[in-house]
Structure 1
């Protein structure tokens, strides 16, 4: 078959196929520029629309958004760069019963997303140590000399002032929050101490400080702050990844459908004196009586942790309850007092002398086997001998929980909302961790059967054997003799508080006992500053919006305008195509006028064409 020549349609110098020739003909000024401009607008409009609607792949998002998704959290241990002008600071003084401690926090400017919280972390010095200072005694010791309260706290504020750049002092919020030690003082003495701080601190320091920044907080507030701090460190307030979700009926909201977001963690904390529980209540609670509803108001805290009051992403309903006398040491003291009382009464009724001498000790199932101990006061003491029976100890301790038959109650008959144990997670601190780790060496994920078996084995071990293990250094840096003596009791007490008091199922798998969260101790002060600075991001967002369209052009258009831009780009490309079609039609007409009629049969027959003159 001969070669087809199109020299009648196009110049002889064009040695391309028909599509290439037509395209080359079309891409001549001014249509080439129009095509390129239209195509460019179309591509930009498409990319822009996809970016706004969030349809681009994760690796296409801007560097700024990529940073938002992978924010550095408070686990950072690098020294704080105090020369960074974009770094902000905040101070919280924890005025406890035994002493006061100041924490210095810092955070970068807010990223501009109103649904995200400030990235607050503890400030660290050049040695990467947390900037913290503690003094003794507690501020409540100033009750008789309230005019010296500001002198008492002066060293803490001076310490913080040395670490924070001077030009940042005026915008650094200072909060002085007093806890248990101040709560037991009469209100008049509390107010006298607080008034001295309000009056004198602004004279010596120019931190951002107002009258409302110093107060005596309730146990409920302290519990909420602890819950906030732990969940913040765990990343539970980052709702971008819903690997573990829960449906939430947002408090105070009229929306019908439940909000689906990341599941938060509950907190169990058992100290020496008290035990505390705090967890989110995702669904609306129903009450069995008006009295129960009234009690619940004092135990449920509803708050918005976000900076925008109209957004529901960070609206939480948290149950917090503190049980005085239910800590490990306080429970043991109550137990011993009951033993002495019951034994003394029985001895008098029956004419016995059980426990009065070491030769006739009172059996105690809550002490290791064969451990001899004396309890009570010198005036009324009792000799006891451990029998190491874990199950019998548990049975005895159930009466100290003060449970009732009412529904939705826990220790001492206090109201407790139902917990969805199948979709929950809890972290246990203090005694919940010590009971599992210091001696049994099984801290971490809690398994009821393994824990009970380990505790039962420990209780049944002869005290002589336990003492030999201790002397050989087996429990070095983990436990002392006091822990060894009362490990059996505290193991049983923790078990009963968890399963009988708080009604956790024995097959519950989502309790983790810890001392540190991400290798660091989490204080309630972190939650306090997160809550009290929650509106500061609005300032950063407003400042960011003033920087102009060139630096943050994506935020300067509304969603409707984004669609308008796309439509404009689309019509520009459509107009370009129409113009090209018209141009193509003119080209065909012009070619038909210059072609010879005799060439048509050759084209139809597929024969080689003769050499034809080119008529321009």
Structure 2
């Protein structure tokens, strides 16, 4: 017998369907989260969600919150970064929980001005006036009652390094004298300086590993490494031969003009102090939990744009012909070039990726004598890398060469990259140009697109012929952002420079 549907039964049926859909949605969401966690570092989903909360506005009403300011004075401009952190837990095995300050809209408290500080070489008395927009911006966002305990660091990089020492000091002296007159920040003479490329590399290494959680306590599935200590550099209270701790990541960074590598050296080998940076990131200098030894090397002139210019010039000068076949250009791609002595040369691409890589090898200067073994290239010493127990992140050109055109950014796979790069190079330029004009490469500007064949070959040459990464190395990831944000060396600088402050 059929019973007529009642309003109660209809409502029950409707709610049952809604409940079932809700359960299905929650199951799918859980599966998606678990699946996405496979692509995150071993820190796990809890830490990922914690990092995602960085978008929340900083609570400036919290009396237990502290602040720090870093001004990055680069070659083309200067930027101010404001950081905040809660009171330290008191556990010497934990670092400060430093985060980038966020305004009421959740945006990072960052401001940039141009041109660079180094342009004031002829007017050093204008240095403090030049920085006022940045310092006023920082002062506005930090609670007034916190100014006197807020450290301010003004750190200059490449542009200032190129000035004479006297020009550098004239600019720095002006800042040392005048900044304290206008602001109450914690600021001393040692808080303003021109940092070396080595220091900048160390700060970048610290910042990236901090964001990845590599300085935190190890969890069950975290990769570990045994770290040995140089007993002569430790206090009596810290005399331990070695400890087992979470493995850190190495950093590869290639810009247009320079190239840099930085990684931890776990073994206490006989290495010159000038080649290794050893530092304690912990809040207690008597503990070894956060003592790190990092190798950093910067190669000026080995950036992708610098090498490309040198390559073109050498090809033109070697041939002395006005028409040259170039294996590092896509097939049939034309290129006009004017040499330094004024000759006009016409290049035509052959798109031979393998020959291109072979032709680039001599730029590594492998024949330069190695004063201390082993060396990477150009006679520069580099400690052996344990490729079986290591992990690297590649930034800037390592990301652009993999992602902007080839669209394989992320985990680096040698065979996959070589095939994608080779296929691009040997494709006729008319077809590539047609694809580009149709918007199929939205991340690549015209210069990137035209130089992609060369730059992918140079990246692979540096990786495998320069730094000697084996073809089967599977622990390199190219990246532009970590946890959806750009990681600046200034984060590493504030972490390093505030580690022994009394307020912790």
- Tell whether the structures are fold-level matches, with TM greater than 0.5: yes
Distance 1:255 1:402 in 2: 42
Shift of 1:256: 6.1
Q: Provide the TM-score with structure 2 as the length reference.
A: 0.86
Residue 210 of structure 1 deviates from its aligned partner by 0.7
Q: Which whole-Å CA distance do the structure 2 matches of 1:158 and 1:94 have between them? A: 15
Corresponding residue number in structure 1 for 2:289: 313
Q: What's 2:435 paired with?
A: 469
Q: What is the alpha-carbon root mean square deviation over aligned residues? A: 1.7
Give 2:327's aligned residue. 365
Tell me the residue number matched to 2:302.
Answer: 326
Deviation at 1:307, TM superposition (A): 1.4
| 2:313 counterpart SS class | helix
Is the counterpart of residue 278 in structure 1 residue 243 in structure 2?
no
2:184 aligns to what SS in structure 1? coil
Deviation at 1:299, TM superposition (A): 2.2
TM-score norm. by structure 1 comes to 0.71
- SS at the partner of 1:101? strand
Give the number of aligned pairs.
449
For the structure 1 residues 71 and 454, does the alpha-carbon distance in structure 2 shift closer, same or farther, using more than 3 Å as the test? closer
Q: Counterparts in 2 of 1:513-532, with a 5 A limit?
A: 513-532=478-497
CA distance in 1, matches of 2:168, 2:204: 23
Instruction: Give 3-state SS (helix, strand or coil) of 1:177's partner.
Output: strand
Correspondent of 1:440 among 402, 406, 412 = 406
CA drift of 1:255 comes to 4.6
Give a deviation string over 1:539-587, Cα, whole Å, max 9, x none: 44xxxxxxxxxxxxxxxxxxxxxxxxxxxxxxxxxxxxxxxxxxxxxxx
Would you say 1:388 and 2:372 are equivalent positions? no
Q: Which structure has more helix as a fraction of its residues?
A: 1
Question: 272, 276, 282: which is aligned to 1:300?
Answer: 276
**Cα offset for 1:482?**
1.1
Work out which of the residue numbers 91, 99, 120 in structure 2 matches 1:121. Answer: 99
User: After superposition, what is the alpha-carbon deviation per residue over 1:287-345, rounded to whole angstroms, capped at 9, x for unaligned?
Assistant: xxxxxx5xx4322101111111110000010000000111100010111111111012x
Matches within 5 A, 1:112-511: 112-241=90-219, 243-251=222-230, 252-253=233-234, 255=239, 257-286=241-270, 296-344=272-320, 354=321, 356=322, 361-377=323-339, 379-404=342-367, 406=370, 407-476=373-442, 478-511=443-476
Per-residue displacement from partner, 1:505-537 (whole Å, max 9, x unpaired)? 00000000000011100000000000000013x
- Mapped to 2, the partners of 1:112 and 1:284 lie a distance apart of 29
Shift of 1:187: 0.7
Rate the CA distance shift 1:381–1:447 in 2: closer, same or farther, 3 A.
same
Unaligned 5+ segments in structure 1 are 1-67, 287-292, 345-353, 541-616
Aligned mates of 1:391, 1:71 — CA distance in 2:
44
Secondary structure of the structure 1 residue equivalent to 2:262: strand
* Displacement of 1:166: 0.4
Match of 1:105 in 2: 83
Moved more, 251-260 or 156-165: 251-260
In 2, are the aligned partners of 1:224 and 1:318 still within 8 Å (CA)? Answer: yes
Partner residue of 2:41?
A: none
Query: Residues 304 and 458 of structure 2 are in contact (CA less than 8 Å); yes or no, is this contact kept in structure 1?
Result: yes
Asked if the contact 1:364–1:384 (Cα under 8 Å) also holds between the matched residues in 2, the reply is yes
**Against the structure 1 CA distance between its residues 433 and 190, is the aligned structure 2 distance closer, same or farther, given a 3 Å change threshold?**
same
Name the residue aligned to 2:9.
none
Secondary structure of 2:261's match?
Answer: strand
